[in-house]
A and B are shown apart, each in its own frame.
Chain A
Amino acid sequence: MQHLNILVAQWVAPTIDYHGLAPELVVAGGLCLVLILDLFIDERKKWLLSVISSFTLLAAMIPVVTLALSDTSVRSMIGDRYVVDSFSLVMKGVFLLSGYVVVLLSSSHLEEGEYWRGEYWFLLLSSLLGMLMMTSSRDLVSIFVALELLSIPAYMLAAWRKRDPKSNEAGVKYFMLGVFASAVMLYGMSLLYGVTNSTLLVDIASQITATGGFSSVHALAVVFVIVGFAFKVSAVPFHTWAPDTYEGAPTPVTAFLSVASKAAGFVALVVLIYSAFPLVQSIWQPFIWVLSALTMTVGNVLALRQHNIVRMIAYSSISQGGFVLMPLAVAGMPGAGSSALRAVVLYMIIYAATNLGVFAVILAVSRKTRSGEVTSFGGLFSYAPTLGVLMTIFLASLAGIPPLGGWIAKFAAFQALLQSQSTWGYVLGVVGAVNSVIAFGYYGNVMREIWMRPVPDGDTTPIRTPGSLGLALGITTVATLTFGIFPGIALHFADLAEIAGAVIR
């Protein structure tokens, strides 16, 4: 007790850079507002909550922009444990904007179904807050806290359709495997702390090989931590939760999980690799190489067999995750570090825009067809040409066909691989190239339904798209096309993103 008293007396409140924390503070304020208002407003006025949520996210973009424009390029707080650098700002922008699109996707969906709206927005914003924190966390403890903050609301969102057993299954599966992954990762983190005597990433980086060489404990620690995030990004063989969860969860939640939640996992992975593990690349490089090759191949092959569109997109997003991992497999090699980071960030930006677009179309179409089958897209072009063309654009972008966004993302990933000038890089490049062709098998299948097949039940009443969904479609389409035709724009942001203090260049 006395010991504790001494500690308390010694404790000095850290100086907080409120400008640097502003995006998080805005979102935190917004979510409190939503929670409190939900108690007092009438059921008929619950739509207000979605408006507040979307404005919260847009308002949080303002400090992100002012921070990006401010002269201080890196703001670090709490003893370098929480850092606002260009990487975190770019990723915060990605999370806020994709969060905004998810709100747009959700609002009409929620109004039409019997959902508990107030809590939905609260949980969505909480999860986004966790993601914002993840981008700045440079300490094992804050990474873990951010991870739980973003994951736990997501477990609940996945099970949001209470009366639907599939949704329950989605939530429970996601929760069980998520918690298991957290446990494995926490074990890895404890081992890391044990061997390096610090939780600060930069300290870990310098301590991990300070003894000269590394032992099996080091390897175990690094691998366990990476496995934890491999669950999060649903890398094969840690992907088994994803298809069931994606299929069972409400579709806007699936969009959120497959884009934002996945990106958050990659953010953590990137930060760890670049800030904490640069010197033990011989441990994680082969591991990520195998993860990447497996993820894209298995994801692709399984996607080919799917008949449910959301399940197919689930496997496709697993396989896309393999492409994001691809440049990381060579990130530790001389000369490849910065282009690998650029490729990962670029992939996340473009993938977010495109995949959210896919979900926007799925939502719009399923409002009419009430079906999740791929065949429900039959003849879409004949009665809803705009949606048909947009879906074609998004799918072609996912398949990596120029001049749509996806191609430059894949291109940058290949470039990073070849930049390493290593045999492993070349081999993985060829694996990736073959996979990007296989992927067209299932993307093309949906296109075929849209353009070449008859309407399944002959019902050709046009689809009415609500305004919010239309706006979401507009944003994602413009982003997908612009990034494809003027890749310089997205590349510029990806190139700006640098992790302060990262050792790999």
Chain B
Amino acid sequence: MNMLRENNWVLSVGTFLPMLGVVVLMLMPKAQDRAIKLIALVTSIATLAVGVYTAVIFDYGQAGKMQFVAETNWISVIKSSYFIGLDGISLPLYLLSMVITLLVVIYSLDHVPSPGKPKAFFSLLLVLQTGMAGTFIAQDLILFFVFFELVLLPMFFMIGVWGGEQRQYASIKFFLYTMFGSALMLVAFLALFVKTGAESFSIPYLIEHGGSIAKNVQIWIFAGMFVGFAVKVPMFPFHTWLPDAHTQAPTQGSVILAAILLKLGTYGFVRIALPILPVAAREWAPYIGGLAVIGIIYGALGCLAQTDMKRLIAFSSVAHMGFVMLGISTLTSFGINAAIFGMVAHGLITGMLFFIAGSVKERYHTLEISKLGGMLTQVPRLGWIFGFCTMASLGLPGLAGFWGEFPAILSAYNPAAGLNVTVFRVYMVIAALGTVLAAGYLLWLYQRIAFGTPKNNSHTGDGHHEKLQDVNTYELLAWTPLLIGILVLGIMPNLLFSVIDPAVQATLVVFGG
């Protein structure tokens, strides 16, 4: 794989700039509330600016190649290096992480969740950003692992300190689950290293040599990686941490979790597991596809049973990530293109839905669906935005969600050579049923929350309505870019597909075209 090395400072700067912000924040006195927020805001704006600059100078003609590649010694004794690069698969996700962090910071200017402590809160947000961006650019397995793990502790604290009633339970559960996955993943990485001659942890090197590992060994190594990534996605049956974590996390935590963190898992499949272990991937694909469609149906049924709005959105994530995994499991460029599009779309849409859930909670002091109602008459703007996002989430053509789901289903019609066509067509039918269920639970949710008359006991319990504030400036600032993104990608999906596709083609070379 040949690589472009010009301007290779941009990735390091973009990734580690937030850490500079953290250092500055650490030195600030705790009481300087405004200054702390300002520093966080400036840091995330600067980070996004670097990100946008990266996107501008990115050579779209060669999106299939690694660009801005930098490689220096890091841990030479174990043959791991600081090796980073960006291609068409990484770019959208890398940029998305920066956008989401900035929007979350903007939203938090007005909404630092209880118990306050803005200094710690913004520091953790910025550490998270470094971890997320780093994961998407790492081209060395050990570096990838370090970034992948870097997000764990900040998220643990974010849920545990700023979360809801059951926050301590949810945070420990989240942590133990993900750590279990990543411990096995690390063992798998090491096995891979040893089995390819203990030469290098660099992903391009391993892609070149991984294919020659014996089949049964590949299958075991893939199993280790599978657990690591599947927990993060999360795939059925490793998903049980997700509803708890999402429900208990503060709005900001939920947004980041849904928009970026879940993508680390699917990205890992596309970037690492599939191209390095193509033989094992073929063996595993039907099972991954099977778990994916179980996830779609199970997530949808789970949604229908929920009484809590946030928990419902969390379960819908399980279903949506099922579509992404189904696309990946077909091992075709069509499917993986759809998967990556689905990742970005899900990031925008579900991130938005969690923002809305946070605002609903703030206004109504509850997320119990049975206690909500009449949102359109009380807070019409919030109601309409919520409607827009539900439509996007159920995959309405013309909005971003459609381009993630529909091609993923379609790709299962014709999986890669060597995969059992009948099995995948069955998956296709089941997944299509899943979209019907999705429309069902989302419309039902919207109907119950937005239509009808406001429930009297909605927030004060004493029978008279207090005038609820509609969407405020901070919310509008934080949400508009996401809403525009959902619309633009829905109308012009090619904006994204044209970037992703060359990289996906390059990745799939190992499968013989």
Residues of A within 8 A of B (CB): 342, 381, 385, 392, 396, 399, 401-403, 407-408, 411-412, 414-415, 418-419, 421, 426, 429-430, 433-434, 436-437, 440-441, 444, 447-448, 451-452, 486-488, 491-492, 494-495
**Residue among B75, B152, B171 with the highest chain A CB neighbour number at 10 A:** B75
Taking CB atoms and an 8 Å cut-off, the chain B residues in 96-146 that contact chain A are: 120, 142, 145-146
B157: CB under 8 A from chain A? Answer: yes
Assess whether B150 is in contact with A408, with CB atoms less than 8 Å apart.
no
What separation, in Å, do the CA atoms of A436 and B160 have in the docked complex? 21
- Residue contacts A-B, CB under 8 angstroms, 16 given: A381-B120, A402-B149, A402-B150, A414-B190, A415-B193, A415-B194, A430-B184, A433-B184, A444-B156, A444-B175, A448-B168, A452-B160, A452-B168, A488-B74, A488-B76, A491-B77
A-B contact sample (10 more), CB < 8 A, given A402-B146, A418-B190, A448-B171 = A342-B77, A399-B179, A403-B149, A434-B183, A437-B183, A444-B176, A451-B157, A452-B168, A491-B77, A494-B77
Question: Quick one: which of A402, A419, A451 contacts B194, CB cutoff 8 A?
Answer: A419
What separation, in Å, do the CA atoms of A133 and B75 have in the docked complex? 32
Closest to A452 in B: B160
B153: CB under 8 A from chain A? Answer: yes
Q: A433-B186, A491-B75 are in contact. Are A401 and B194 (CB under 8 A)?
A: no
- The minimal Cβ–Cβ distance linking B192 to chain A, given in whole angstroms, is 9
- The minimal Cβ–Cβ distance linking A433 to chain B, given in whole angstroms, is 4
B198: CB under 8 A from chain A? Answer: yes
- The minimal Cβ–Cβ distance linking B427 to chain A, given in whole angstroms, is 31
Assess whether B152 is in contact with A419, with CB atoms less than 8 Å apart.
no
B2: CB under 8 A from chain A? Answer: no
Instruction: Enumerate chain B residues within 8 angstroms of A494, measured Cβ to Cβ.
Output: 77
B419: CB under 8 A from chain A? Answer: no
What separation, in Å, do the CA atoms of A401 and B127 have in the docked complex? 14
- The minimal Cβ–Cβ distance linking A388 to chain B, given in whole angstroms, is 10
Assess whether B190 is in contact with A491, with CB atoms less than 8 Å apart.
no
Question: Quick one: which of A440, A441, A488 contacts B75, CB cutoff 8 A?
Answer: A488
Q: A401-B153, A402-B146, A402-B149 are in contact. Are A433 and B183 (CB under 8 A)?
A: yes
Question: Quick one: which of A415, A441, A486, A492 contacts B176, CB cutoff 8 A?
Answer: A441
What separation, in Å, do the CA atoms of A451 and B161 have in the docked complex? 6
Instruction: Enumerate chain A residues within 8 angstroms of B145, measured Cβ to Cβ.
Output: 402
B487: CB under 8 A from chain A? Answer: no
Question: Quick one: which of A385, A433, A444, A486 contacts B172, CB cutoff 8 A?
Answer: A444
What separation, in Å, do the CA atoms of A342 and B78 have in the docked complex? 11
B53: CB under 8 A from chain A? Answer: no
Assess whether A437 is in contact with B160, with CB atoms less than 8 Å apart.
no
Instruction: Enumerate chain A residues within 8 angstroms of B120, measured Cβ to Cβ.
Output: 381, 385
Q: How large is the interface on B (under 10, 10 to 19, 20 to 34, 35 or more residues)?
A: 35 or more
Residues of B within 8 A of A (CB): 30, 73-78, 120, 142, 145-146, 149-150, 152-153, 156-157, 160-161, 167-168, 171-172, 175-176, 179-180, 183-184, 186-187, 190-191, 193-194, 198
Q: A421-B194, A452-B167 are in contact. Are A430 and B187 (CB under 8 A)?
A: yes
Instruction: Enumerate chain B residues within 8 angstroms of A487, measured Cβ to Cβ.
Output: 74-75, 78
Instruction: Enumerate chain A residues within 8 angstroms of B78, measured Cβ to Cβ.
Output: 411-412, 415, 487, 491
Counting residue pairs across A and B whose Cβ atoms lie within 8 Å, the total is 97
- The minimal Cβ–Cβ distance linking B170 to chain A, given in whole angstroms, is 11
Assess whether B157 is in contact with A418, with CB atoms less than 8 Å apart.
no
Instruction: Enumerate chain A residues within 8 angstroms of B180, measured Cβ to Cβ.
Output: 434, 437
Q: A411-B78, A452-B160, A488-B76 are in contact. Are A437 and B187 (CB under 8 A)?
A: no
Instruction: Enumerate chain B residues within 8 angstroms of A392, measured Cβ to Cβ.
Output: 153
Assess whether A418 is in contact with B161, with CB atoms less than 8 Å apart.
no
Assess whether A440 is in contact with B146, with CB atoms less than 8 Å apart.
no
What separation, in Å, do the CA atoms of A385 and B30 have in the docked complex? 10
Assess whether B160 is in contact with A448, with CB atoms less than 8 Å apart.
yes
Closest to A386 in B: B26
Question: Quick one: which of B74, B149, B194 contacts A418, CB cutoff 8 A?
Answer: B194
What separation, in Å, do the CA atoms of A492 and B74 have in the docked complex? 12
Instruction: Enumerate chain B residues within 8 angstroms of A437, measured Cβ to Cβ.
Output: 176, 179-180, 183
Instruction: Enumerate chain A residues within 8 angstroms of B157, measured Cβ to Cβ.
Output: 447, 451
Question: Quick one: which of B76, B160, B175, B198 contacts A451, CB cutoff 8 A?
Answer: B160
- The minimal Cβ–Cβ distance linking A456 to chain B, given in whole angstroms, is 16
Q: A419-B194, A419-B198, A437-B180 are in contact. Are A488 and B153 (CB under 8 A)?
A: no
What separation, in Å, do the CA atoms of A503 and B175 have in the docked complex? 43
Closest to B147 in A: A402
- The minimal Cβ–Cβ distance linking B353 to chain A, given in whole angstroms, is 27
What separation, in Å, do the CA atoms of A278 and B78 have in the docked complex? 24
- 6 residue pairs, one from A and one from B, having the closest CB atoms: A433-B183, A402-B146, A491-B77, A402-B149, A437-B180, A418-B190
Closest to A412 in B: B78
What separation, in Å, do the CA atoms of A487 and B186 have in the docked complex? 16
Instruction: Enumerate chain B residues within 8 angstroms of A491, measured Cβ to Cβ.
Output: 75, 77-78
- The minimal Cβ–Cβ distance linking A432 to chain B, given in whole angstroms, is 8
Question: Quick one: which of B183, B186, B191, B193 contacts A426, CB cutoff 8 A?
Answer: B191
Closest to B115 in A: A382
- The minimal Cβ–Cβ distance linking A266 to chain B, given in whole angstroms, is 20
Assess whether B152 is in contact with A401, with CB atoms less than 8 Å apart.
yes
Question: Quick one: which of B30, B76, B146, B168 contacts A407, CB cutoff 8 A?
Answer: B146
Instruction: Enumerate chain B residues within 8 angstroms of A396, measured Cβ to Cβ.
Output: 153
Instruction: Enumerate chain B residues within 8 angstroms of A381, measured Cβ to Cβ.
Output: 120
Instruction: Enumerate chain A residues within 8 angstroms of B198, measured Cβ to Cβ.
Output: 419
- The minimal Cβ–Cβ distance linking A20 to chain B, given in whole angstroms, is 27
Instruction: Enumerate chain B residues within 8 angstroms of A452, measured Cβ to Cβ.
Output: 160-161, 167-168, 171
